[in-house]
Structure 1
Amino acid sequence: MARPRTISDEQIVEAAREVFLEQGFSATTAEIARRAGVSEGTLFNRFASKEELFAETLGLNERGHCQTDFSALVGSGDVRLNLEQLAWRFLDAARRILPQLMVIWSRGQAPMVKPAGWRDPLSEEIEALSRYLQAEVTLGRLRPIDCQVAAAALLGALMSQVHRELQAGPGIEGARFVRSLLDMWWPGMQPFEPPGAASSQSGSTPADPSPEMK
């Protein structure tokens, strides 16, 4: 007797991705199961709901790791470099997810129907980055700023870059865009220098020699 064929979660996710891209979120789980070659019962044994499967097809479930990354960076390393690293991760994720979302929302009988409890991924990323910035402000590693506005503006600029790439094709190289964006932002975010720190580092006034050199 032939052994029953085993369908992996990855194969189900790939079948679901194809169906969602063709029909939008209005696609039925029956059609997804048929395309994957499994029963609906098997589908729901693997994934609790259509919403969970939808999030999996877009890679949205991986964003929880990003929020863990935010927390792990608090108080460690260089804040400016941390922000550059986080910006790169966001840009990479947006380049993967946004094109699929744009196609899915344009398909199906009700193209703007979204999963129950759906939260805009950008809003969740803004909240996570805002919490990270506030933690660094509390530690004195950033000056007091409106962290929610700063997070929204930074990620909004990155999202705008992805939209522009999708509409007009590659333009400004990604690394250049991220570095230049943070070069403009950083002066308004870096912690205030203690009084006299700038003058003591001025090239016109040499610093006092260390005790060992006196």
Structure 2
Amino acid sequence: MKIGRPKEVSDEHIIAIARRCFLERGGSLSAADIAREIGVSHTTLFNRFGSKQGLMLAALGAPKDIHWIEALEAGPDHRPIREQIVEIACTIAAFFEDLHAGFTVLQASGIPTEALCSGEDPEKSAPARAFRALTEWIGRAQDQKKLAQCDAQVLASTLLGVLHNRAFSNSICGEQDSDKAADARHVADVITLLWDGIKPLP
């Protein structure tokens, strides 16, 4: 049986370089320029991703996998629950910052919003799985008496909404250069604001 040659440059490497290039230089950057940066032909990019738009969507769109879903599915752990919520929220906040940066370039390039999730079952998408994982994490924390009883889905939506708005306002309101320490303080302040409503009963 004939065995095909392994790919010398992985799709993941191409996507990482393309993302950096698009974020630094914008969506008008040509596929040929990106190919030179990677050290492959632009034909290779089209063979892998179909078109420049396909490459942009792979590099800047919603990811197929979200690494922190597994951490949510494994928790909560033995640490203080407030500490865990802040940690989770900081991770999600950083995710939204990256996501919004990519979406901004895509939209500025004229790629319609519906193209971001085309060809994918919304219920099975990584963002949908992440939302379910957070809702279920909250539910388990409530079952363990670590959080007060409330609608877990509403709490998950509230937390995600606040964190997404932070990423949006950083860009729109001129705070693009906010540092990670400031973002972490903001997340901690958000949890402090919510805490009286979700802390476990004494």
TM-score by length of 2: 0.69
Are residues 153 and 159 of structure 1, via their aligned partners in 2, closer, same or farther at CA, if it must alter by over 3 Å? Answer: same
Q: Percent identity?
A: 19
In 2, Cα distance between equivalents of 1:144 and 1:14 = 42
- Residues 1:117 and 2:120 aligned together: yes
For structure 1, list consecutive stretches of 5 or more residues without a partner in the other structure.
Answer: 194-214
Q: CA RMSD in A?
A: 3.7
After superposition, where does 1:1-214 map in structure 2 within 5 Å? 6-14=8-16, 17=19, 22=27, 35=35, 36-37=40-41, 38-39=43-44, 43=48, 54-55=57-58, 58=61, 60-63=63-66, 65-108=67-110, 111-112=112-113, 113-114=115-116, 115-117=118-120, 119=122, 123-170=128-175, 173-193=182-202
SS at match of 2:146: coil
In 1, Cα distance between equivalents of 2:155 and 2:68 = 18
Matched residue type, 1:90:
I
Matched residue type, 2:48:
L
Q: 1:149-195, CA deviations, whole angstroms, 9 ceiling, x for partnerless residues?
A: 001111111111111111123379212211111111112112111xx
The CA deviation at 1:12 is 2.5
The CA deviation at 1:111 is 2.2
Does structure 1 conserve the Cα–Cα contact (< 8 Å) formed by 2:81 and 2:146?
yes
SS at match of 1:116: coil
Matched residue type, 1:160:
N
SS at match of 1:60: coil
For structure 2, list consecutive stretches of 5 or more residues without a partner in the other structure.
Answer: 1-6
The size of the alignment, in residue pairs, is: 178
